[in-house]
Amino acid sequence: MANLPSGTVTFLFTDIEGSTRLLHQLGEKYAILLAEQQQLLREACEMHDGSVVSTQGDSFFVAFPRAVDAINAAVQSQHELTAHTWTNGVSVRVRMGLHTGEPQISSANYVGIDVHRAARIAAAAFGGQVLLSQTTYDLVENELPDGVTLRDLGEHRLKDLRKPKHLYQLIIAGLPSDFPPLKSLELSPNNLPVQLTSFIGRTKEISEVKQLLSQERLLTLTGPGGSGKSRLALQVAAEMIEYFRDGIFFVPLAPITDPGLVASTIAQTLGIIETAGRSIVDNLKDYLRGKSLLLFLDNFEQVILAAPLVAEILMACNELKILITSREGLRISGEHEYPVPPLALPNLTQLPSLESFSQYAAVELFIQRAQAVKPDFLITDDTAPALAEICNRLDGLPLAIELAAARIKLLPPRAMLARLENRLEFLTGGKRDAPARQQTLRNTIAWSFDLLNENEQKLFRRLSVFVGGCTIEAVEAVAEENPARGYILDQFGSLLDKSLLREVEGINGESRFVMLETLREFGLEQLEASGEGETIRHRHASFFLDLAEQAEASLESS
C-alpha cells in the first residue's frame, strides 16, 4: 500500500451478491470460490494499473490513477467472472461501483467522503451491474473501450443519506444489462433527512442492529447523549429501505415534551388527516394496519410516558416495526434494547502502526471532521499518540470527538490534549445548525441531567466522586444518608436504565458500575454547586479507609 495513487483517483468497490446464501449453500467449499473470485479480480485490476487497497470477506477496494483504467478493469472482471466455471456449478454475480475524487491519504490509507461514496454506489447495484458516478462519467465518456456504452440512470439518493447523485451504468456487450430499480432511497417512500457529513465506522453495530430489527418489532437504541444513537439508527433505516414496501418514516420528538402530543406528531409526519368523531390514535391505527412500514421515533426519553401508545399501535398493526432512540428503554412488552457502544478506540498501552490507525472509528471520525475545517490535516508519527489519547479521553463519544476536531484550526493535537483537563469548558462551538443541546458537550449532558428527578440528580452528582467505578456497597456507604432504608437501589437502577452508568465485570467477577469521564466531570461540577462536595468526599475517604484497615487486619491474621 506504499505506492497508492494520489491526486485524482478512481475507486472501484466490489462485492458478491448473495454471499451469505452461497456460504450456506457451499459450506467449506465457499473458501475455494472466494479465492477464485479474488484472484480473477486482482489479476484484472493489476493488469490495468490498479492498486488493491483492501479486501474484506467477499469485497474488494481498488484504486486507479486513471478513470479509463478502472473502466477497463471492471469490464474485464465482469467478462471473466461470467465465463468462469464455479464450484458446484453455482452462479457468482459481483456488483461494482466506480467513483472519482481527490481523496486524502492518511496512515497509508484513503480517507474522506470519496471512499464512502464509491462504496455506496456499489451497494446500490445488483450482481453483474457496474455503476459509476458523474465525476467518473465525465472522464471516460469519450474513452470507452469497444463494446461498452453508458446508460443514464438519473439522480438517486444513496444510502449515505446525502443529496441525490447522478448515476450511470456500464452496458457491456454480451453481458446482462437489464436490472431491477437501484437499491437507493427512492425504492420506498421515506422522509429520512439529508446528512451533510459521512457516516464513520460502526460496521459491527449496523450488522447487529439490522439483524435485531429483522427479528424484532420494537427495537430501542439506548446510550448517553452524544453517543451517536440517532445517526446509527438513521444509517440502519437507510440500509433497510428495501425491506419495508410502504416506507420508513422519521419522527423527531426532541421538539416536544408533552407525551400527549406524540400521537399527533406521528400522524402529522405520516400526513394523516384527522377524522371527525375518531381519536388521533384510532386514525393512526387505521392508517398503519396492514402496512409494511418502519417508524423511527427519535429522542423518546423526554416523552417516555407515551410508551403505552407505542405498545398499543404495535398490537393493532402486525406488519409495523418501530425503531426508537432514547437515553432509557421504554420498559414495555416486546421491547428489545440495544445499548450503543462508544466508537472503537486504539489501546494506549499498545498503539497500532500508523498504517492501522484509521481502522479505529474514533480516530477516523476525528481525522475526517478535522479535515473539514483544515483540509491539510494529516495524522503523523508525531501526532498519532496525542490523537489516540484525545479520543480515549473523550470516551469514544462521537459528539465530543467532533467538537474537539473542530478546534484543530487553533490547536494541534498535543496542545488540544492539554486543554482536555477541563473538557466541558473546551468542547464548545458546535455547528450553528445543530440543536442547542448539541452545541456544547455540557449542553448535551445537561439535557440528560434535567430529565432526572431530584433524587436521581442527587445520586448522579454524588457518584461522581468515584474514579474508575464503584460497587453497590460503596454507593450505599457514600451516597445514601441512611443505607438501612435501601431507597438508593431504585435510583441507582434508574441511572443504569438511563445510560448514565454502565456495568462492567470487576475482579473475581463482581459487578462494578462506571461513569464515563465526560459525565463524571459534569457530575463533579453539580456536586460542588450543590454544596455537598466536602461531605461526600469525606464519606468517600472514610469508606475506603475502613476498607483498607479491614484488608490490613485480614492480612495480619492470615
* Higher per-residue confidence, 258 vs 109: 258
User: How does 374-388 read in b/e, with b if 16+ C-beta sit within 10 Å?
Assistant: eeebebeeebbebbb
Lowest mean pLDDT among 195-209, 433-447, 494-508: 433-447
Assigned CATH class of 452-557: mainly alpha
Write out the DSSP string of 66-84.
Answer: SHHHHHHHHHHHHHHHHHS
Using one digit for the tens of pLDDT, what is the confidence trace for 300-339? 998 999 999 999 999 999 999 999 999 999 999 999 999 9
Q: State mean pLDDT over 250-270.
A: 94
Question: Binning pLDDT at 50, 70 and 90, where does residue 471 land?
Answer: confident
Mean pLDDT rounded to a whole number for the chain: 89
Radius of gyration, alpha carbons of the chain: 27
What pLDDT, on the 0 to 100 scale, is given for residue 409?
Answer: 86
Residues 297 and 310: their CA atoms lie apart, in Å, by: 10
Relative orientation angle of helices 454-463 and 472-479, to the nearest 10 degrees: 110
**Cβ neighbours of residue 343 closer than 8 Å, sequence gap 6 or more:** 200, 201, 202, 228, 360, 361, 362, 365, 391, 396, 397, 398, 401
Confidence band, pLDDT 50/70/90 cuts, at residue 558 = low
* 1 pLDDT tier (thresholds 50, 70, 90): very low
Per-residue pLDDT, averaged over 417-424, amounts to: 80
The yes-or-no verdict on residue 152 having pLDDT over 50 is: yes
Taking 80 as the threshold, does the pLDDT of residue 431 lie above it?
Answer: no
Task: Indicate if 203-339 has the same CATH topology as 9-187.
Answer: no
Question: What are φ and ψ of residue 513, in 5° steps?
Answer: -125, 125
Residue 544: pLDDT band with limits 50, 70, 90:
confident
Q: Does 207 have pLDDT greater than 90?
A: yes
Mean pLDDT of the region 491-495:
86
Confidence of residue 74 (pLDDT cuts 50, 70, 90): very high
Extents of the domains making up the chain = 9-187, 203-339, 356-440, 452-557
Q: Give CA separation, 136 vs 75, 110, 165, 197, 408, in Å.
A: 15, 18, 12, 22, 32
Q: Is the pLDDT of residue 381 over 90?
A: no
Bigger pLDDT: 173 vs 87:
173
Q: Considering the domain 203-339 in this protein, what is its CATH number? A: 3.40.50.300
pLDDT at 474: 86
The burial class, CB within 10 Å (0-12 / 13-18 / 19+), for 150 is middle
Full 3-state SS string of 29-62? HHHHHHHHHHHHHHHHHHHCCCEEEEEECCEEEE
Question: Is the sign of the CA dihedral 502, 506, 511, 512 positive or negative?
Answer: negative
| Coil vs helix vs strand at 459 | helix
Q: What is the largest CA-CA distance in the chain?
A: 90
Cβ atoms < 10 Å from Cβ of 353: 10
Q: Which residues contact 487 (CB under 8 A, 6 or more apart)?
A: 455, 480
- Percent of the chain topping pLDDT 70: 94
pLDDT tens sequence across 382-416: 889 999 999 998 989 998 899 889 889 888 899 88
Q: Assign residue 247 a region: left if phi > 0, alpha if psi is -120 to 50, beta otherwise?
A: left
Q: What per-residue confidence (pLDDT) applies to 450?
A: 87
- What integer is the mean pLDDT of 474-497? 77
202 CB neighbour count, 10 Å cutoff: 21
Q: Is the pLDDT of residue 259 over 60?
A: yes
DSSP string spanning 180-212? PSPSSGGGS-B-PPP-SS-----HHHHHHHHHH
- Least confident span in 8-17, 361-370, 544-553: 544-553
Averaged pLDDT, 542-556: 78
Instruction: Name which of 109, 111, 112, 156 is nearest 131 in CA terms.
Output: 156
What percentage of residues in the chain have a pLDDT greater than 90? 56
DSSP 8-state code for residue 342: P
Other CB atoms closer than 10 Å to residue 148's CB: what's the count? 17
Q: State the CB neighbour count (10 A cutoff) for residue 341.
A: 14
Asked whether the predicted pLDDT for residue 475 surpasses 90, the reply is: no
Long-range contacts of 513-516 (CB under 8 A, 24+ apart): 513/469, 513/470, 513/471, 513/472, 513/475, 514/468, 514/469, 515/463, 515/464, 515/466, 515/469, 516/224, 516/395, 516/397
Average pLDDT over residues 40-47: 95
Hey, which residues does 321 pair with through a beta bridge?
294
Highest mean pLDDT among 211-225, 408-422, 466-480, 536-550: 211-225
User: Does 9-187 carry CATH code 2.60.120.680?
Assistant: no
